[in-house]
Structure 1
Amino acid sequence: MKKSIVFVIPSLDAGGGEKSLVNLLNCIDFNQYEVDLILLNKKGIFLKSVPAEVNILELNEDYLIFTKNIKLAIVEFIKKGKLKLAFSRFMYALKLFSIQNSGIAEQRSWKYIVKSIKLPFAKYDAAVGFLEKSSIYFIIDCIEAKKKIGFIHNDYNKLNLDASIDEKYFRNLDVIATVSEECATVLKERFPDFLKKIKVIYNIVSEELIHKLALEKANINKSVPIILSIGRLHPQKGFDLAIDAALILKENNIHFQWLVIGEGEQRMELTKRIKEKGLEKNFILLGLKENPYPYLKAATVYVQPSKYEGKSIAIDEAKILNKPIIVTNFSTAKDQIQSNVNGIITEMKPDALAIAISNLLDDNNLQTSLAENLSKEKLGTEDEINKIYQLINE
């Protein structure tokens, strides 16, 4: 008899956690497992990459009303005589508005949105909250399952969350999964009561699929060196630092085009910064690309200017395509890059980043050495699915 699993994630917008989940779903043995997927918002660039065997569940009408514009939601609830839900929608909006830290706002507003979710869901052998905060809270509060697994995809210390809220939910998880050894170390320091629950499960990336998709054509001007970065337009990803580094490169008469694949809340701010520094022809925000791999294959160098990461899928993908890689020295960088062996780790400063890029662009021997070292590594992580199976079947 097949075992049943449900995965929960806010959406399938472009992001490392979202891509990791889609990769995982495409590795599952559907002869052995029945899989449901709950999206708190049914949207995202990765939606069409979900295997046909996965059943995407629709949430109930009250929840869909709750997620509408506050005025529309409250009016609809009042018309239906659901005054408690109207009040909860008001309090939800108030929390989001009054708490500046968006992560803590999500944590503290969960108790209001959960009132709109119809319970219970079908009972599962395993429920997996695939991102921190709401995904984990959902599987604890809304789902019956024999095994509950919650994923943390970042360095917990950098998330600036209210640990007391998470501690309450972590206590009800069977497994706290995270994506790198450094992330696991941080969790063990922050939540020493849960040492035995914390497991490392790497993001799943497929070498075969990436090489196949990279064969498609990308519209890129190859007359100058191409610097590529991939990530949400979010403060975490350090694109403000990257723009400042790009200005230094330009002022030093270095020819380049820096392309960024991704979308997010910082687009207007970053676009303004690019214009103010006169970098419109040098630093280009490409937006989302369903297939980023032809751009990655065409790049001269891949740069990850992040301020923090869990374990970056984009870095793993650049490694698979044997790209010379430069990363800033965020806390988990050494989990993926050994400096001057399979990439370069540099200080989290514009001038340091610019110097690292300039030196790498000028040194063909170093580019070749980094690429050759990467070509010798085993980089696909499809076997990580076996860790999921083991946790479910224990």
Structure 2
Amino acid sequence: MGEVVNKPTYPAEQAKRIAVCGHHEARGGAEVALFRMLTLLRRRGCDIVFVTKNNTDVIEDLIPEGVTVVRVSADSRWSRFLGTLLGKGERPRWWMRVVRKTLHVLSGKRHYWAFEYAGRHLTGLPKGPFDAVLDFEGYSCIDTVIGSRISAPIRATWIHTEEVDLSATYSYFLRYYDRIFCVSQTAQVALSARYPRLADRSRMLFTPIDVDLIRRRSMADVSPEPQGTDPSVFRIVTVCRLSQEKNLELSVHVAATLRDRGLNFLWEVFGEGVERTGLQTLIDRLGLTGRFVLRGAVSNPYPYMKRADIYVQTSKHEGFGLTVQEAKILGIPVVVTDIPAFREQIVDGQTGFLRPADVEALADAIIRLARHPEERRRMAENLAKVDWDGQQDMSPLYEFLGL
């Protein structure tokens, strides 16, 4: 077996043994959903081995008790590079980058041949057999290849986005994976439209949530407000990875419009990602320092969400949008871009506002809620009536695993 990061607490002898493949560049909605799923499987008595190519520092506290963590790599720097398995401190040489780009252009399939090669040179794979393998990452990731190399009679994978591109892993889906779980109707429709041969393997499986835990954690103490903070300021919060699909550049431009239209606000963004430097440059250039603030990743964002007046998300696309659902659980009205995944979650005018990805339209919705607290209260009352039990049905997964 590969490198064991924490020791397991094994359940009964007849427990299902399940390998779960995933990675975690940051603490985002997908990571929260992944480890919530592991918690639920542990409660069902499963023996879980979490297989990852990453160090687990960033998500150490999320790993459920009793889960064994195995870190996979490859047998040379070259194969680690091709499979995006390089560890901390390892940087590809210039000629490696040229070769991978050439493979990309010649094959027309992103990383396909690279993944094929890396897959034959993996090291540290957990010893089988397993009762099942679950590839939680799903699309165009080396994790799908890793899952295909672990011995098990059945395998399932996940689709988390409406922007489905399986060019690097399509053949693995066809050959090795029996079930494809889509986290929303939007994701399932997109998968079936682009890859009709996979349609009959797909099932919808909502992202698992823990409503009581989210509400309990929202009551935790947070850092006190800096001295001089205006108590009447209108508080806006966003929790997301700082990545291109979250479209935070649009949020910054909306904030500039709010300022120009005289709204006294503080917009806080919790999360980390590759877009941080560019976003901070834009914030400074537009004179929004102190108004639009990148707070970084926090282990518990819920108290900050709870004290906000509204939650805003300007994503270009989503598979589900977990943090929007978490804001709803906490009774926070939301303003979001009008994309298919958010249409599944928001009743426009009742639990929030759906608006086009337009600066003025989004600013109008925010200002409307800022100036009409009675409308925010009405939306909060509507959110309090939502039946969350019906949105936590894990039976498609349990049936697949024979639990």
Question: Into which bin does the TM-score normalised by the smaller protein fall?
Answer: 0.7 to 0.9
8 Å contact kept, 1:206–1:381: no
- From 142, 145, 155, give the equivalent of 1:148: 155
Say whether 1:39 aligns with 2:52: yes
1:118-148 CA distance string (max 9 Å, x none): 36741211101101222222212x1121110
Q: How does 1:141-290 map to 2 (within 5 A)?
A: 142-155=149-162, 158-159=163-164, 161=165, 163-171=166-174, 172-219=176-223, 220=225, 221=229, 222-290=231-299
1:231–1:107 Cα change, 3 Å: farther
Deviation at 1:185, TM superposition (A): 1.0
1:66-85 CA distance string (max 9 Å, x none): 3447996899xxxxxxxxxx
Alignment correspondent of 2:27: 14
- Write the letter of the residue equivalent to 1:116: H
- Write the letter of the residue equivalent to 1:126: A
Deviation at 1:393, TM superposition (A): 1.3
- Write the letter of the residue equivalent to 1:182: T
Alignment correspondent of 2:100: 95
Alignment correspondent of 1:369: 378
Q: How does 1:271-310 map to 2 (within 5 A)?
A: 271-310=280-319
Deviation at 1:369, TM superposition (A): 1.2
1:64–1:293 Cα change, 3 Å: farther
8 Å contact kept, 1:12–1:47: no
Unaligned runs of 5+ in 2: 1-13
8 Å contact kept, 1:70–1:93: no
- Write the letter of the residue equivalent to 2:51: I
Alignment correspondent of 1:78: none
Say whether 1:127 aligns with 2:145: no
Number of aligned positions between the proteins? 374
Relative to its length, the structure with more helix (as a share) is 1
Task: Give me the TM-score of the superposition, normalised by structure 2.
Answer: 0.85
1:203-239 CA distance string (max 9 Å, x none): 1111110111111122345431110001111110010
Q: Measure the CA separation in 1 of the matches of 2:363 and 2:102.
A: 38
1:149-194 CA distance string (max 9 Å, x none): 0101111xx25x3x44443122121001110011111111112122
Q: SS in structure 2 opposite 1:339?
A: coil
Deviation at 1:94, TM superposition (A): 3.4
Q: SS in structure 1 opposite 2:267?
A: strand
Say whether 1:117 aligns with 2:122: yes
Q: Measure the CA separation in 1 of the matches of 2:364 and 2:89.
A: 51
Alignment correspondent of 2:144: 136
1:23-69 CA distance string (max 9 Å, x none): 11122244631110011112353222111211101335737893447
Q: Measure the CA separation in 2 of the matches of 1:243 and 1:354.
A: 11
8 Å contact kept, 2:206–2:391: no
Deviation at 1:109, TM superposition (A): 3.1
Alignment correspondent of 1:320: 329
- Write the letter of the residue equivalent to 2:58: I
- Write the letter of the residue equivalent to 1:180: S
1:71–1:293 Cα change, 3 Å: closer
1:376–1:225 Cα change, 3 Å: same
Q: SS in structure 2 opposite 1:122?
A: coil
Aligned-residue CA RMSD (Å): 2.8
1:231-257 CA distance string (max 9 Å, x none): 111110010000000000001111000
Q: Measure the CA separation in 2 of the matches of 1:70 and 1:217.
A: 34
Q: SS in structure 2 opposite 1:145?
A: coil
